Copies of this chain bind each other. A is one copy, B any other.
């Protein structure tokens, strides 16, 4: 399996997510632990809220997005993690039974001045639902090691 290094993260490059359906059970389990507001743990309360149904906590949507990023490229990369996120927008409710998909795209990339073996890659993840609507957008930074000199690495 290819290991993506900094050199592979060229502006515009996209990594596609694998679709995943979020169940009521998952939504309730996450919310009971981290965000037990009524619209996240109770179907009737969700329907009565502006969200219109049993809706995932925004932080649950973000955690699912993280798993999609991991499966799409991080697991096969020289990732050194992330110092944070510039923007995390929850644009539409994610309701029980929704099927999420999407992609992440490289915005720009540069080598770290203080650590020249590490690159700083800015990326934008867009999570969509089964109607093609964007439910979440996240602009984040991913630190990536550069290819080791002399290593047998196929550049992207």
A3 to B80 Cα, complex, angstroms: 43
Q: Does A133 contact B (CB under 8 A)?
A: no
If A62-B62, A63-B59, A66-B59 touch, does A37 touch B74 (CB 8 Å cutoff)? yes
Quick check: is A148 within 8 A (CB to CB) of the other chain?
no
Q: Given A34-B64, A35-B70, A62-B62, do A85 and B84 touch, yes or no (CB 8 Å)?
A: no
Range class of the A interface residue count = 20 to 34
Say how many copies of this protein the assembly contains. 2
Contact indicator B50/A80 (Cβ below 8 Å):
yes
**A15 contacts the other chain (Cβ, under 8 Å)?**
no
Q: Quick check: B39 and A81 within 8 Å, CB to CB?
A: yes
User: Which residues of B sit under 8 angstroms from A50, Cβ to Cβ?
Assistant: 80-81
Partner of A84, one of B35, B64, B74, B89: B89
Q: With a CB–CB cut-off of 8 A, which chain B residues contact A87?
A: 84-86
Q: Which residues in window 90-148 of A have CB below 8 A to B?
A: 90-91
The verdict on A5 contacting chain B, using a C-beta distance below 8 Å, is no
Q: Report yes or no: A89 in contact with B83, Cβ–Cβ below 8 A.
A: yes
Question: Considering the chains assembled together, what is the distance between the CA atoms of A74 and B36 in angstroms?
Answer: 10
5 extra interface residue pairs, beta carbon distance < 8 Å, beyond A83-B91, A84-B91: A35-B66, A37-B79, A58-B82, A62-B62, A83-B90
A-B contact pairs, 13 of them (CB 8 A): A34-B70, A35-B63, A35-B70, A37-B70, A37-B75, A39-B81, A50-B80, A50-B81, A58-B82, A63-B63, A83-B91, A84-B90, A85-B89
